[in-house]
Amino acid sequence: MYKLLFFIGIIIIASCSACGYISGSRNYKITCDYIKGVQPIDRFSIAELDVVYMNSTNTIPDHFTEIKRVSCEIIKGAKERKIIHFHKKNKGYRWFNSTPTNYLNTDSLRNLEIREQLDYLKKKGVVGADSSTVSYDMIPIKFKRNTWYLIFGLENAERSYFMYYNENKNCIVRYAEPGPW
C-alpha cells in the first residue's frame, strides 16, 4: 500500500515539475510596470526587438533582430527583492545599457557582472560610448507602442518571455522558448 502511494506521489511530482509548477519556470508575473517573482530577483535583461516574422499562430516573434538591450542587476551586498519596477527606483538595483549578445555568450565573460563585462569589452575596444557603464535608477528606455521585447536571464526561468507593448499601451506577455541567457 505504501509503495503504491509513494509511486503515485512520484508521478504527481514529476508531472507538476514537467509543467513548470515546481521547477520555477513560470514563477514570474510580468507587466508593463514591473516583474514580480516568487523568489528574489538578482538580474535579468530586456531586449527591444525588430520582428522579421511571427510564428505560425501569430502569437510570438519567430525571427527577430535585437535592437537594444538593457540589464538590471542587484548591487553587491544589497537585499534582494521579489519585485522590480521599471519606471520607479528599486533600492539596491541598477540598470545598464548592455552589449551585443555575441560577446556576452563567451565562457570568459558569462560569470562576470554586467558592469565587469562592459568594462572588459570597453578595454578591448568592442564597446563604444553608446554602451557605457553608466548606471541608472530606472530602466533607461521607454517602451514603444507596437513593439516586441524579450525578457530573459531570470533565475529559475527555463525560458524567456516575450512582451508586446500594443497601440493602447497595454502589455501582452507570452512565455517563450529557451534562451538566449
Q: Determine the pLDDT at residue 18.
A: 37
Would you say residue 64 has pLDDT above 60?
Answer: yes
Q: How far apart are CA 104 and CA 117, in angstroms?
A: 7
Residue type, 54: M
In the prediction, which pLDDT does 19 show?
37
- The single residue listed with the C-alpha cell 541598477 is 94
- CA proximity to 38, closest of 28, 30, 47: 28
pLDDT at 9: 47
Query: Which residue reads 549578445 in cell numbers?
Result: 101
Residue 129, pLDDT > 80, answer no
Pair 82, 39: CB distance under 8 Å:
yes
Q: Dig out the grid coordinates for 81 from the structure.
A: 527583492
> What is the SS3 string spanning the chain?
CHHHHHHHHHHHHHHHHHHCCCCCCCCEEECCCEEEEEEEECEEEEEEEEEEEECCCCCCEEEEEEEEEEEEEECCCCCCEEEEECCCCCCCEEEEECCCHHHHCCHHHHCCCHHHHHHHHHHCCCCCHHHCCCEECCCCCCCCCCEEEEEECCCCCCCCEEEEECCCCCEEEEECCCCCC
Residue 23 has which C-alpha cell?
A: 521547477
Euclidean distance between CA atoms 99 and 113, whole angstroms: 12
Residue 104: pLDDT band with limits 50, 70, 90: low
Average pLDDT over the chain, rounded to an integer: 77
